[in-house]
Structure 1
């Protein structure tokens, strides 16, 4: 198993891209792009990525901008949602020259929907892990969101959020993710933190991500992207303790070729809490690709800026 972390510069901002390959496996020719959720990082896909790599896939898991080891935007900039999609499009062009499958968790699922809807000819198979977008709101919240954003940005302190120790980081993860075994969270903590120049420890994400986006999620626009997705789509639920928007079923119904899997007791962080079962389900799903799947996507490709879709984890 080869696991590397490489810098890529798709749109003027250096991203850290984690790649998983097994030289002993027979290559499938399929690149799998794994997109993480809010305050997560591409490196924490490892428990799922390694089994998929052993199946012969080339697995790519970027830290999205401002998360993990990827660069943060400069002063005067912001994390607008289309920026993530532009980064994904550039990474796909560079790293997935032929066949592409996409897996998106939570916020990463929303990124995957926008990308797959905009480029239905490019995605052979798509898996959405509780990634159907946040709750919908109408334009009546627009003024309040803009006011909140201006307040947040005026008082923003981008100093990394400090931790007393790695044990402190683990304890906080345990408090936030009670359904994930502690021993698993102990392996996640080093991936979600970074050592500061003075030797201290801090969370690896940019504190700007904690601010209120000035733009709200517009479900009508989101569903237009769902309707454009032509490929087979696996919708994975973490069960009743997972995260589900109230109109989730209506959104899923917009997908032309949806399949459903429920990991009953996994909860929202299923790639940590039920990694083996999730990897098995994803492996079965992506093994069903190939020429027929690609032809279906190509044949249906013409079918016919937001609040983050972050699904706060």
Structure 2
């Protein structure tokens, strides 16, 4: 691909960058519209991204929603701590519970017009999908509709896995974590397309400027703390997670791409029937399979995703 000849994507509904104080951090939140658009039938739509992604990643879906219904919805997307423009003090590890704490604070933030007084529609992709499922179980009164984009969870762990995981974490703490940097923004776009060959080059060119930034050394650096790459010493306890899923009261829309292959991530450690059994504990679930897309379905098929979202969010 001759990335130098690509004209970047032009957003139909540009967002506004906001920084709000959350648990000692200046949290970056993109907003589209304002709280005056909120009604009981059309609450704020809050979206959270996955691992090594950014809130701007949802721009294509926001634009598709605007094409379908006009600019009538108040939408927000946050950069998780240590991703995008939500900077953190130097740290060597990240903890799942902190994402829940951050989300809870964000959804009650006065500066965002979210006072904790009325439910929101909540959407999460991948890691973000895992966060919103747990959150919706422990704060069910805050969620009107819940959307999970391929937040599968993780393979089941057992107590005997703990020593090896702890040893791995300790070993990784001894070395500096790093992420590759790039000579040009075009090279960043090429990396995005290498990660997801379905990504349209114009979208990649636009997203690259939000996924990375130029620094004093003249190179482009990924906006993700490399400490995220370290193993988590806390095991994923399926039984505990499912206890929160059982408490979800909001209708849930599960969306996945027909070309997603989870065996590339986990091999045979997480069979499909295990996931189906997990999802079966959620009281109200609708499932949707989008075609011609993989894990980054909000990049691959934003219009098809927006159509399905509207059908779900507007349902009586």
TM-score interval for Structure 1 and Structure 2 normalised by the shorter chain: 0.7 to 0.9
TM-score normalised by length of structure 1:
0.85
Q: Which residue pairs with 2:59 in the alignment? A: 46
Residue 24 of structure 1: how far off its partner (Å): 11
Q: Which runs of 5+ in 2 are unaligned?
A: 1-12, 264-269
Residue 9 of structure 1: how far off its partner (Å): 1.4
* Length, aligned pairs only: 287
Residue 185 of structure 1: how far off its partner (Å): 2.1
Does the CA contact (< 8 Å) of 2:259 and 2:293 recur in 1? no
Does the CA contact (< 8 Å) of 2:177 and 2:230 recur in 1? no
- How far apart, CA to CA, are the structure 2 residues paired with 1:82 and 1:187? 32
Deviating above 4 A after TM superposition, structure 1's stretches of 4 or more consecutive aligned residues are: 22-29
Structure 2 residue 104 is the aligned partner of structure 1 residue 85: no
- How far apart, CA to CA, are the structure 1 residues paired with 2:250 and 2:239? 21
Does the CA contact (< 8 Å) of 1:130 and 1:236 recur in 2? yes
- How far apart, CA to CA, are the structure 2 residues paired with 1:35 and 1:88? 9
Structure 2 residue 240 is the aligned partner of structure 1 residue 221: yes
In the TM superposition, what are the counterparts of 1:1-313 in structure 2 within 5 Å? 1=13, 3-21=15-33, 29-52=42-65, 54=70, 56-75=72-91, 78-94=93-109, 95=112, 96-97=114-115, 98-157=118-177, 161-243=180-262, 245-246=270-271, 247-288=274-315
Does the CA contact (< 8 Å) of 1:99 and 1:123 recur in 2? yes
SS in 1 for 2:255: strand
Q: Which runs of 5+ in 1 are unaligned?
A: 290-313
- How far apart, CA to CA, are the structure 1 residues paired with 2:35 and 2:144? 23
CA deviation vs aligned residue, 1:255-306 (integer Å, no higher than 9, x gap): 10000111022110000000111011111111126xxxxxxxxxxxxxxxxx
SS in 2 for 1:103: strand
- Backbone CA RMSD of aligned residues: 2.2
- How far apart, CA to CA, are the structure 2 residues paired with 1:240 and 1:220? 28
- How far apart, CA to CA, are the structure 2 residues paired with 1:240 and 1:139? 33
Does the C-alpha gap of structure 1 residues 219 and 26 become closer, same or farther in structure 2, counting only changes over 3 Å?
closer
